[in-house]
Amino acid sequence: MNGGAQVTPQAVEYIRILPEIVLTIFGIIIMMLDPLMDERRSQRTLGAVGLVGALAAIVATLYQSQYPGVGFWGMVNVDSFSVFFHFLVATVTAVVILTSYEYMEVQQIRAGEYYGLILFGAVGMCLMSSAVELVLIFIALEISSISTYILAGFRRRAAISSESSVKYFLLGSFATAFFLYGVAMMFGATGSTSIAVIGQVLGSGQTPVLAYVGIALMFVGLGFKVAAAPFHVWTPDVYEGAPAPIVGFMSTAPKAAVFAVLLRILFEAHAPGRLWLIWVVAALSMTLGNIGALVQDNVKRLLAYSSIAHAGYLLVAFAALPANGIPAAMFYTVSYAAMNVGAFAVVSHFASAGERYVTMEDYAGLGRRSPLLAATLTIFLLSLIGIPATGGFFAKFYVFSAALQANLVGLVIIGVLNSAVGAYYYLRVIVVMYMREARQEVPVSPIPLGLGAALAISAATTIYLGVLPGRVLEYATRSAGDLLR
């Protein structure tokens, strides 16, 4: 307790949580409009409000970036690092809402709570990237997780969706308990839950053994959220059952936020013993993810295993030296978000009512029936492989070169071998789309405006990151400097 300190927050401190405030307000507006409107027409209006909310959050983030600093008694810290992730989360939210427009009508899902939960979830994710205190991080993590648990169960008519929601909820709550236990241990070891103070204590040389226990437990909790092996078992089932646009959302935005938290905890708090921990988890995730994906016939499950593998690639950057590991990880998060949201946008358009068409066989002949859709999906899949001129190439390139500079040759070899294995199953989808004849005619409806915009944004970002990665990388490097200061 510092007796003479300020008693109420100042105006500038509210600017430091402005995107969160904006998203919350729009979420509440959606909830209040929902009962007032005719249900048949509310879908588009509520979606539009949600979209405006996400765009307003982007504007708020840009405005906020001019007021860096700490707010609310050292709870949040606005720096270029947090602005980067705010921007990413808000953009993913906007694109996912665009994707959901058509999906909601086709699947006949109630719109009000759906868009509200997406915005509230984004509040948690934004807060995770700017929070510098473990209690706040925990609450933000819970907001983001609980909203995704619920969103996973939104296909109420499909039993598989409820299964996905329940599985995700039970295992997720268990994982969060690990995180909380780790926070308690960390508090016991250092006497504080503020990352800055923990960093001072742990950086000063002597490391209490309890801090290792704390880090390990927190890593278990966060590893679950990013679907890193061996905490990945839930991923395929949950991704298979959840609504496709939501899978695009929850495989990118919450993961990006958790990676932001991990970066802060591991690097800013000078976490001890991270190297071997990350090494093992990264190698396991890459290998298990890619091997699991090889035998999948359902495209959603395939992308689920692919997301496990990508979490592995991303974690390689965490084992590298902070100065080039952090920018590499940040770059990877963005390019992965672009390609994965895009891929799931295609999946959600193609799936039709009740998500009937999600197996590999249904994709046969797509190249002829809907050339545009097949072409965009091809871009995303090539990027997921890591073909040059796509974002995925530079993402992998930066991660592996950062790891090489830290002399992690073994890990890089595992990573490169895995990329080669991964190419097989992504190419399989492309081959099926272009070279195999459809056994049964699967209808493909024309691409609506919202989905078209979502696909255009994702594809443009993927290619932009693959052709001109310089600006994003430069910004990420600057953020890393902010984080390590």
Partner 1 sequence: MLHLTIFLIFGAICVAGAVNLLVQRHPINSALSLIVVMASLAVEYLLLGAEFVAAVQVIIYAGAIMVLFVFVIMLLNAGEEERTKGSRVAMIFGIPGMLVGSGLVAWVLLEHSGTHSVAAGALPGPPKTIAWLLFHEFLLPFEVTSVLVLIAIMGAVVLAGHPDSGGPAKKEG
Footprint on this chain of partner 1 (rule: CB under 8 A): 1, 5, 7, 9, 17, 20, 24, 31, 39-40, 42-43, 71-76, 104-105, 108-111, 113, 116-117, 120-121, 123-124, 127, 133, 135-136, 139-140, 142-143, 146-147, 149-150, 153-154, 156-157, 162, 165, 188-191, 206, 208-211, 213
Residue with Cβ nearer partner 1 (129 or 165): 165
Least distance to partner 1 from the beta carbon of 135, Å? 5
Cis peptide before 327 (omega within 30 of 0): no
Least distance to partner 1 from the beta carbon of 250, Å? 14
> CA 389, 394, 400, 404 torsion: positive or negative?
positive
Angle, CA of 324, 132 and 122, to the nearest 5°: 90
Contact criterion met (CB below 8 Å) for 297 and 357: no
Q: How many residues does the chain have?
A: 485
Contact criterion met (CB below 8 Å) for 23 and 57: yes
Least distance to partner 1 from the beta carbon of 208, Å? 2
Q: What is the CA radius of gyration of the chain?
A: 21
Least distance to partner 1 from the beta carbon of 282, Å? 24
HSE-CB for 406 with a 13 A CA cutoff: 23
Residue with Cβ nearer partner 1 (113 or 237): 113
Amino acid symbol at 313 = Y
Tokens of 116: 């509200």
Tokens of 11: 């105006």
Residue with Cβ nearer partner 1 (215 or 364): 215
Residue with Cβ nearer partner 1 (73 or 174): 73
Contact criterion met (CB below 8 Å) for 88 and 334: yes
- How do 69-71 and 76-78 pair as beta strands? antiparallel
Residue with Cβ nearer partner 1 (52 or 210): 210
Residue with Cβ nearer partner 1 (61 or 194): 194
Residue with Cβ nearer partner 1 (108 or 401): 108
Least distance to partner 1 from the beta carbon of 45, Å? 12
Residue with Cβ nearer partner 1 (40 or 485): 40
Residue with Cβ nearer partner 1 (190 or 296): 190
Contact criterion met (CB below 8 Å) for 281 and 228: yes
Label each residue of 401-427 as H, E or C.
Answer: HHHHHCCCHHHHHHHHHHHHHHHHHHH
Label each residue of 269-312 as H, E or C.
Answer: CCCCCHHHHHHHHHHHHHHHHHHHHHCCCEHHHHHHHHHHHHHH
Least distance to partner 1 from the beta carbon of 243, Å? 12
Angle, CA of 337, 452 and 306, to the nearest 5°: 30
Look up residue 233 and give its DSSP letter.
T
How far is the C-alpha of 414 from the C-alpha of 290, rounded, in Å? 11
Least distance to partner 1 from the beta carbon of 6, Å? 9
Residue with Cβ nearer partner 1 (39 or 474): 39
Amino acid symbol at 51 = L
How far is the C-alpha of 253 from the C-alpha of 234, rounded, in Å? 18
Least distance to partner 1 from the beta carbon of 113, Å? 5
Least distance to partner 1 from the beta carbon of 224, Å? 17
Least distance to partner 1 from the beta carbon of 401, Å? 37
